[in-house]
Amino acid sequence: MQTHEIRRRFLDHFEKLGHTPVPSASLVLDDPNLLFINAGMVQFVPYFLGQRTPPFARAVSVQKCVRTGDIENVGVTTRHNTFFQMAGNFSFGDYFKREVIGFAWTLLTSSVEEGGYGFDPERIWATAYLDDDEAIQIWKDVAGLPDERIQRRGMADNYWSMGIPGPCGPCSEIYYDRGPEFGKEGGPEADEDRYIEIWNLVFMQNERGQGTSKDDFEILGPLPRKNIDTGMGVERVAFLLQDVDNVYETDLVRPVITEAEALSGRRYGENHDADVRFRVIADHARTAVMLIADGVTPGNDGRGYVLRRLLRRIVRSARLLGAEDPSMARFVTVVRDTMAESYPELVEDFARIESVAVGEEKAFLATLTSGSRLFDNAAQAVTASGGTRISGDEAFVLHDTYGFPIDLTLEMAAEAGLQVDEAGFRTLMAEQRNRAKADAQSRKHAHTDLTVYREFVDRGPTEFTGFDELDSEATVLAIIAGGVRVPTAAAGEKVEVILDRSPLYAESGGQLADIGTLTGAGLTVTVGDVQKIAKTVWVHKVTVDEGQLTEGDVVTAHVDQQWRRGATQGHSGTHMVHAALRQILGPNAVQAGSLNKPGYLRFDFTYQGSLSESQREDIEAVTNDAVASDFAVNTFVTDLDDAKAMGAMALFGENYGDEVRVVEIGGPFSMELCGGTHVQHSSQIGPVTILGESSVGSGVRRVEAFVGLDSYKYLAKERALLAGVASSLKVPTDEVPARIENLVERLRVAEKELEATRAAAVLSSAGSYVDTARRVGSLLVVAEPAPAGVGAADLRTLVGDVRGRFGTQPAVVALFGDVDGKVPFVVSTTKAAQELGVKAGELVGAFGPSIGGRGGGKADTAQGAGSDAAGIPVAIEALLGRVTEIAGNS
């Protein structure tokens, strides 16, 4: 049975049982605790906790999930996946244990002809929490399971929570026995490779507190009602029904491995290490495509870092398999083709998905090239010093600073006849990982208690009047101080206020909240911020300036007119810049985030490579042409499908309702889904001045601009600056660029002449250094401080010149600089000295610690730097001592 069919049967089964189908939420959820959705129940947490009243008593979904804790184990075993699909059915105070066990048993064991999965009931096992006698009896009554196929397990296995304070409860897991050829007898407790978990039925009835592990947390008490949360692993059911060994061989995963075989010329199943790499590619390619589809782009922290790591592991694995050519485009194409039946958005958005993935591949291939050079330098230094092992520190720096993978370091070291201190590397990695975990744990919190707002969420959304008016009469529904509802607030108090209606815009969609006031008889209240709760309730953060604010008061809510004017200019300007970007750069320049406030806009977009000056000028010109065209700004509400059919742009990763608001500027020029406030005609935006363009992550660029009066002010300042420069240069303003270019060229010539003079001065001291040579055995040794201020480059030239003056004599030259607290040094030996066993690279190890430095090189020349200039005399003595030892042994 194909995976898409398994999904369809699950949804159909529960829809017939009265469950409302709920689409999968985006993998990126607005939750401070989670990088990505990692379970099917996550989007329903407020319903379980009683913070919101669910719009349905029963629901069913197939949720996209990503779990990143086991990335290192992916491919090593066949049980770990980062992306998977969790099919689940949910009850919010409706049915409980008996019903859910019956529903699951029927779907699993009914024949294929009857719409079920057709599993053999004699091979199904169940587990239950230690003291859950009720669940065990239901398994006997409803499914007829014998005692020997029901096992009791402890909290770590059969008590489910999200790992943080929130809903929890005992659970009953369903396992399928694959047969004796896959392991030993004894049920799930004995062997979870033979007995595969396929479905977890959670009896969500309690709320947990803080804890450190799966079985170490406090049960705070019961939830407002008993709920059901289940999760069936779609991929696990697929590999059982398709009679293959594991999820990597199912219909949606194996095609990626097949593509990797074609690219590499290797065959899956022939070698364990190669198989691990095939599985890494297959797993990570699916996960990366799904993350990019939900708006994630590669970056250096958070979600972006996870995606970058996955994509780079794909490139690395393909390379280790022998695929030298870029391969990302082929892998993501296979994922699109296999997954599109369930996720048609992958087809619609494929150009962007491919662009992001391929862009990261190109960047990483460049990293591998530069990393290889760094590795070569490290290997040469080790060899020159007579060593055989690259240190754990060096391997860690290659990995952590330059992104060079440890397995490539190991492979290249073996090819060079060297070893790597892998234990030292692993220790450093573990220390870094522990720091990261501690940092993540410090930011992890329980789900915010929204109980105080629940009444107002259930009451219905705040009526937003701000599209049509800036002053609205409103009733104070609640006053909240410190998370507690209070009846009044006196002058000087800072509180939150919920109104039945409000003209003040609540922050969302990149637009900052309005500021304004609430006024009444003898009452003045300043509104400094407005935020949304559950996306529907406006919470006004206020300071009572005068009088007493009382629940039930009728007040006038007023928006600061100047703020709103600037905010609408900034928001409409953002839409115009977005449209201009797509016109100049093409359809792959898609919004990746924005911020707009009075007079200013910031717009992030997906694009590979920086923009040229010409492109920036064109974007600004197209934007201002549209502003000057005085386009009408129209808004209307329609359903999501119609909006998309019209070509309205949606923000990737955003979840929209069935009805959406469309903002249209100039007909086809700009059409986006947007809930923000806007000008009525494009000319009201005023001039748009692009300040610059920069990178904010791999494949994501940022444009910043002033609009309206702020644009005028910026241009006036620039004009005054230009006039000042013109006055200083005594030329007309239009001749300033040419005059500056001429001055820069003259300065460049002068710097070259100065450099030549300085180099000549440095070299002129070479003869005096020859005169300082000391005889050590048959060797002549120059070991001295360099002239003040001589840097590494000049030092190398000077040492080379001094060495050359010794001709065929055995000589060693070592000079130490002192530049801004750094101690650059260069050591060089003549050929005759090398024949006596003196190697420059080896000498560094003798004196380096004296100046807090390190370095390396070949037998003839080595260089490096230290940090302790006071140690130069000691370093010179250490060098002389080592040369004396060598001379005595030769």
Q: Does 575 carry a binding-site annotation?
A: yes
Residues 238 and 270 in one domain: no
Residue 655 has pLDDT above 70, yes or no: no
Closest CA to 851 of 827, 880, 828, 878: 878
- Measured in whole angstroms, the distance separating CA 682 from the mean position of its chain's CA atoms is 36
Nearest to 854 by CA among 377, 178, 144, 417: 377
pLDDT of residue 730: 86
For residues 20 and 853, the model is more confident at 20
Left if phi > 0, otherwise alpha if psi is -120 to 50, otherwise beta: which for 828?
beta
Distance CA 579, CA 593 (A): 14
Distance between CA atoms of 84 and 66, rounded to whole angstroms? 7
Q: Cα(333)–Cα(350) distance, rounded to whole angstroms?
A: 8
pLDDT at 440 over 60: no
DSSP string across 126-157: EEEETT-HHHHHHIIIII---GGGEEEE-HHH
CB of 517 closer than 8 Å to CB of 525: yes
User: Tokens standing for 625?
Assistant: 């042409």
Largest CA distance in the chain: 103
pLDDT band for position 443 (50/70/90)? very low
Q: Which residues contact 505 (CB under 8 A, 6 or more apart)?
A: 464, 466, 511, 513, 514, 530, 559, 564, 567, 676, 677
Answer yes or no: do 525 and 622 share one domain.
no
Question: 477 and 356, same structural domain?
Answer: no
Residues 211 and 349 occupy one common structural domain: no
Q: What's the rounded mean pLDDT across residues 46-68?
A: 88
pLDDT of 442: 45
Nearest CA to 833 out of 863, 808, 862, 858 is that of 808
Tell me the C-alpha distance between 324 and 889, whole Å.
49
In this prediction, residue 178 carries a pLDDT of 94
Q: What percent of the chain has pLDDT over 90?
A: 53
What is the Cα–Cα distance from 429 to 273, expressed in whole angstroms? 22
Q: How confident is the model at residue 162 (pLDDT cuts 50, 70, 90)?
A: confident
In this structure, are 618 and 632 located in the same domain? yes
**Domain C-terminal end among 716, 742, 776:** 716
**447 in a known ligand binding site:** no
Higher pLDDT, 854 or 801: 801
Token readout for 587 is 């359809």
How far lies 849's CA from each of 389, 818, 823, 866, 872, in Å? 19, 16, 12, 8, 10
> How much is the pLDDT for 656?
65
Asked if the structure places residue 421 within a domain, the reply is: no
Chain segment 698-734, per-residue pLDDT in tens: 678 899 999 999 999 988 888 888 888 888 888 888 8
Candidate from 43-57, 261-275, 322-336, 347-361 with smallest mean pLDDT: 43-57
CA–CA separation, 821 and 804 (whole Å): 29
Cα gap 723→721, rounded to integer Å: 5
**Residue 97 · residue 139 · CB < 8 Å:** no
| CATH classification at residue 811 | 3.10.310.40
- How far apart CA 439 and CA 882 sit, in angstroms, is 47
Classify residue 824 as exposed, middle or buried by CB count within 10 Å of its CB (0-12, 13-18, 19+).
buried
Could you tell me if residue 384 is inside a domain? Answer: no
- Do 694 and 599 lie in a common domain? yes
pLDDT of residue 794: 83
The answer to whether position 570 is within a domain reads yes
Condensed to tens digits (0 to 9), the pLDDT of residues 849-861 reads: 899 888 878 888 9
Inside any domain, residue 723? no
Q: What is the mean pLDDT of the chain?
A: 88
Do 455 and 517 share a structural domain?
A: yes
Give the pairing type, strands 537-546 and 811-816: unpaired
DSSP character string of 174-214: EEEE--GGGS-SS-TTT-TTTEEEEEEEEEEEEEEEEEEET
- Mapped onto helix, strand or coil, the DSSP state of residue 409 is helix
Spatial contact of 597 and 567, defined as CB atoms under 8 Å apart? yes
Residue 473, in any domain of the structure:
yes
**Alpha carbon separation from 66 to 25, 69, 289 (Å, rounded):** 12, 9, 12
- Asked, for residue 495, whether it belongs to a domain, the answer is yes
pLDDT score at 128? 96
Is residue 397 very low, low, confident or very high in pLDDT (cuts 50, 70, 90)? confident
- Looking at per-residue confidence, does 710 or 366 come out higher? 710
**What pLDDT does residue 535 have?**
82
Give the residue from 490, 617, 469 showing the smallest Cα distance to 545.
490
| Annotated binding residue 571 | yes
Structure tokens at 90: 């949910």
The verdict on residue 65 lying in a domain is yes
Task: Select from 563, 494, 551, 486 the least CA-distant residue to 520.
Answer: 551
> Is 19 a known ligand-binding residue?
no
Per-residue model confidence (pLDDT) at position 858:
83
> Could you tell me the two tokens for 682?
């494009």
Summarize pLDDT for 230-247 with one digit per residue, the tens. 999 999 999 999 999 889
**One domain for residues 468 and 488:** yes
- Examine the fold and report which residue of 200, 229, 249 is the final residue of a domain before the chain moves on: 249
Place of tokens 């806007």: 678
Angle of helix 840-847 versus helix 872-889 axis, rounded to 10:
130
User: Per-residue pLDDT for 356 more than 60?
Assistant: yes
Is 486:479 a contact under the CB 8 Å cutoff? Answer: yes
**Which amino acid is present at 207?**
E
The pLDDT, as a whole number, for residue 332 is: 97
Beta bridge partners of 113: none
Q: Which one-letter amino acid corresponds to residue 520?
A: G
CA dist., res. 339 & res. 286, Å (int): 9
pLDDT band for 466, please (50, 70, 90 cuts).
very high
Task: Give me the number of domains the chain comprises.
Answer: 5
Identify any residues that bridge with 172 across adjacent strands, giving them in sequence order: 201
Residue 286 has pLDDT above 60, yes or no: yes
Question: Residue 594 and residue 572: Cα distance in Å, rounded?
Answer: 12
Question: Do 201 and 65 fall within a single domain?
Answer: yes
Beta bridge partners of 681: 632
> What percentage of the chain carries pLDDT values higher than 70?
95
**One-letter identity of residue 800:** G
Domain containing 519 equals 451-559
Beta bridge partners of 66: 83
User: Which domain CATH number covers 464?
Assistant: 2.40.30.130
Q: Dihedral of CA 489/491/497/499: which sign? A: positive
Q: How many residues does the chain have?
A: 890
**Residues in CB range of 701: below 8 A, 6 or more apart:** 604, 605, 606, 607, 610, 611, 693, 694, 695
Same-domain check for residues 161 and 13: yes
Q: What pLDDT was estimated at residue 505?
A: 96
Boundary-marking domain end, from 559, 587, 606: 559
pLDDT bucket at 129, cuts 50 / 70 / 90:
very high
In the prediction, which pLDDT does 211 show? 75
Is residue 256's pLDDT more than 90?
Answer: yes
Distance CA 144, CA 102 (A): 11
Q: Read out DSSP for 754-792?
A: HHHHHHHHHHTTHHHHHHT-EEETTEEEEEEEPPTT--H
Q: How high is the pLDDT of residue 195?
A: 95
In this structure, the number of other CB atoms found within 10 A of the CB of residue 142 comes to 18
Q: 343-357, 439-453, 748-762 — which is least confidently predicted?
A: 439-453
In a domain, 695, yes or no: yes
Q: How far are the Cα atoms of 755, 798, 879 from residue 793, in angstroms, in the given order?
A: 12, 9, 22
Q: How far is CA 210 from CA 30, 218, 886, in A?
A: 21, 7, 65
Stretch 806-834: mean pLDDT, rounded? Answer: 91
Q: Read off the pLDDT of residues 571-608 as tens digits, 9 standing for 90 and up.
A: 999 999 999 999 999 887 888 888 999 999 999 988 87
Query: At 209, is the pLDDT very low, low, confident or very high (cuts 50, 70, 90)?
Result: confident
Question: Contact 883/781 with Cβ under 8 angstroms?
Answer: yes
| Co-location of 672 and 775 in the same domain | no
**pLDDT band at 617, cuts 50/70/90?**
very high
Tell me what pLDDT residue 185 has. 94
Greater confidence (213 vs 389) lies with: 389
* Cβ atoms of residues 763 and 801 within 8 Å: yes
Mean pLDDT over 64-81 rounds to 80
Same structural domain for residues 217 and 284?
no
pLDDT band at 448 (very low <50, low <70, confident <90, very high): low
